[in-house]
Structure 1
Amino acid sequence: MSLPRSRSVVVTGASTGIGRATVAALVAKGMHVWPTVRREADADGLRDEFGAAVTPLLADLTDDAAVAAAGKKVCAAGPLHGLVNNAGAALTGPLEHLPLDVLRRQLDINLVGQLAVTQAMLPALRVARGRGERARIVMIGSVGGRIASPMIGPYHAAKFGLAGLSGSLRAELAPWGIGVVLLEPGSIATPIWDRALRSADEVFAAMPPEAQRYEKQVRAARADAERTAARGIPPARVAEVVVRSLTRRNPAPRRMIGRDAQLVGVLTRLLPHRAIFRLTAAR
């Protein structure tokens, strides 16, 4: 396979939302993008829109063999200058009755899968560094990795875990100059929340009758998700920060995006845990 002429970046979860906006922003900067998607139809859509500037990869992050194959394809093409770990899902439900396979799937998608992709792409990132070029990993976390609310415990567990994973990875890769940046958006208008609502209905319907005691909290979480989908900032805003995190000489290692995220950052720094609990506890 011939090497791409420009700097190349892998972007996971590129079919919609932040991932798709990031692909567009990187292509506009003249970069070659390897977007990962799960369906051939999404790959075709990316090719139609961006042409030779993209080389789509079919890979489900929970499929170890598919992730390894994608990594081999990227590594065979030469140096990789950036990896944007964006793919994710939001699985919800009261933890008392949550099926454990739902929690495992959430962690597989939003946490374990991020490391699997990183492991697969690191050899190509090292090639870029070996040539004296920039190589950087951007993790798309969430303000939900700083503060936890009812009914989306699986999502919070994964995002809190991603913050720890990113910190350790940053420390471990420091000797080789491979930077790791964690971005923590607040409310973003993406399809993830529509999918989360559909998933919540399915999970809640399969729970025992005792789970009905959480119905009020489920309704409140649904209303909050609908507000998030309606008032969130556009994914392109996050994509702009992703591009800066990949291209600036010394970007902040951890950055919140959006006014609501910045407010949460202030509250979690200034307020004691007891006060934060009062703000987030179900009524």
Structure 2
Amino acid sequence: MTRPSYVVTGASSGIGAACVAELVRRGAHVWASVRTDVDEEELVCAYGDAVTVLRMDLRDAASIAECGARVVAGGPLRGLVNNAGLARPGPLEYVPLDAFREQLDVNVTGQLAVTRVMLPALRVAETPRVVTVGSIGGRVAGPMIGPYHTSKFALVGLTDSLRAELAPEGIDVVLVEPGAVATAIWPRAREAAEEVRAALPEAGLVRYAAQLASAERSAARSARAGVPPRRAAQVVVRALTARRPAPRYLVGTDARVAAVLASLPFRLRYRLTAAKR
């Protein structure tokens, strides 16, 4: 392919879909990963041969390996955008351990698995990049989305280590840290919170009802005030194409405010982020 080629995971909606649109607009070819027939059809109808759809589930090692083989066979890969992910809410005392493991499998282990299978194609490209979409929730943690925060803090360590290990080969590894983005994650989070509340034992509901309600109000505010996905996608594309990309990029005013909060002394930071009675 003469056009630069990129992989974008989680391309069916939100930041992933906006990244596909922005890259195609700039003349790139995109390998876009989705999980359903409907999502695949929508991408093909929208972009034609500018997009090649990958059917990938980050919980399925075989699908990741198959997609990696297809991309490697397609030639040099200029960049990988690790965007796919999920959010599991609920008090850590009661979150089912299987749900906690799934959060880490998708948001951390899955990112590494995808990166590993794409490395052979990245190594034969000019100025290759790995850009991972993390979250400002990887710097500051609060109540009721502990599984998500755990995964995003882990993603910081994963990205930093990959950056150090791949530096000798000239593969830049970048972490993009958005604040609230107006995507479908917020309605899904509200639905998940309702499921969590319904599954809580009576003692847990009494103990955590106020915190769950506060988290739901916060999610509603984020859905209203979050930046458009295209704004985050533009930052991702900047990280993919800049001559000398920064190791990290913040997206949104709330992300910059939270970054300042993360730099405060621990005792003060924890006082500000603790749940209130």
Which of the five TM-score ranges fits, normalised by the shorter chain?
over 0.9
Unaligned runs of 5+ in 1: none
Corresponding position: 1:30 with 2:24: no
User: Within 1, Cα distance between the matches of 2:88 and 2:223?
Assistant: 16
Equivalent position of 2:13 in the other structure? 16
Equivalent position of 2:109 in the other structure? 112
User: Within 1, Cα distance between the matches of 2:192 and 2:258?
Assistant: 26
User: Within 2, Cα distance between the matches of 1:223 and 1:125?
Assistant: 42
Specify which of 228, 232, 240 is matched with residue 234 of structure 2.
240
Cα-to-partner distance string for 1:208-261 (whole Å, 9 max, x where unaligned): 222111011000001100110111000000111111101111011012111111
Corresponding position: 1:96 with 2:93: yes
Q: Is the 8 A contact 1:95 1:153 kept in 2?
A: yes
User: Within 1, Cα distance between the matches of 2:106 and 2:247?
Assistant: 23
1:108-187 equivalence runs, <5 A: 108-128=105-125, 133-187=126-180
Corresponding position: 1:193 with 2:186: yes
Equivalent position of 1:49 in the other structure? 46
How far did 1:200 drift?
2.2
Work out the percentage of aligned pairs sharing the same amino acid. Answer: 57
SS in 1 for 2:33: strand
Equivalent position of 1:79 in the other structure? 76
User: Within 1, Cα distance between the matches of 2:203 and 2:56?
Assistant: 38
How far did 1:206 drift?
2.1
Equivalent position of 1:207 in the other structure? 200
Specify which of 240, 244, 252 is matched with residue 250 of structure 1.
244
User: Within 2, Cα distance between the matches of 1:69 and 1:210?
Assistant: 46
User: Within 2, Cα distance between the matches of 1:12 and 1:216?
Assistant: 35
How far did 1:40 drift?
1.4
User: Within 1, Cα distance between the matches of 2:82 and 2:193?
Assistant: 24
User: Within 2, Cα distance between the matches of 1:177 and 1:205?
Assistant: 50
How far did 1:5 drift?
2.5
User: Within 2, Cα distance between the matches of 1:126 and 1:117?
Assistant: 15
Cα-to-partner distance string for 1:152-179 (whole Å, 9 max, x where unaligned): 0000000000000000000000110000
Q: With structure 1 as the length reference, what TM-score do the two structures score?
A: 0.96
How far did 1:194 drift?
1.2
Corresponding position: 1:69 with 2:66: yes
CA RMSD of the aligned region, Å? Answer: 0.8
Specify which of 258, 262, 266 is matched with residue 264 of structure 1.
258
Q: Is the 8 A contact 1:89 1:196 kept in 2?
A: no
Q: Is the 8 A contact 1:135 1:179 kept in 2?
A: yes
